[in-house]
């Protein structure tokens, strides 16, 4: 098994992020490579997981850096799932929040609640969302 390297260094080509989102079937909004680059660069903290030079996972935090940080976009390419990469990404994202005194939060579908509970998260609210009018 090859080593997975996790880094906060942005990829040279954000096309790799676009390809990962496509592989995860996460691009229902039709985001471009430029959109995803802007999304990552405007996030408070982003991690990228690589096998060699191939981007195989990512996760990020949206935060004010003071009170709360919303962990989002944590995903691992389907061919690399079930290897603990997602858990490594989550632990490092949690560490980023905790080392800065920021409360880590996330939203997830009900089927993933038990997974996030194993990482110390507790259900606390009902989330809601609104689709943007301009998409």
Domain ranges of the chain: 4-117
- Report residue 135's pLDDT band, with 50, 70 and 90 as the boundaries: low
**Alpha-carbon gap, residue 69 to 67, rounded angstroms:** 7
Q: Which value, to the nearest 10 degrees, does the dihedral of the CA atoms of residues 122, 25, 16, 64 take?
A: -30
Q: What is the per-residue pLDDT across 100-115, written as a single tens digit (0 to 9) for each?
A: 999 999 988 888 888 8
Cα 43 to Cα 135: distance, rounded to the nearest angstrom? 21
CATH superfamily for domain 4-117: Gcn5-related N-acetyltransferase (GNAT) (3.40.630.30)
Give Cα 23 distance to the centre of its chain: 14
């Amino acid at each position: 098994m090859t080593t997975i390297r996790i880094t906060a260094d942005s990829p040279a080509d954000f096309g790799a992020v676009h390809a990962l989102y496509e592989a995860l079937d996460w691009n229902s909004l039709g985001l471009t490579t430029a959109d995803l680059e802007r999304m990552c660069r405007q996030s408070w903290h982003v991690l990228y997981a690589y096998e060699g030079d191939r981007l195989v996972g990512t996760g990020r935090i949206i935060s004010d850096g003071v009170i709360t940080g919303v962990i989002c976009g944590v995903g691992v390419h389907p061919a690399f799932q079930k290897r603990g990469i997602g858990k490594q990404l989550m632990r490092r994202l949690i560490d980023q929040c905790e080392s800065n005194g920021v409360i880590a939060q996330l939203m997830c579908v009900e089927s993933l609640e038990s997974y996030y509970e194993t990482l110390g998260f507790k259900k606390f609210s009902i989330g809601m969302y609104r689709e943007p009018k301009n998409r």
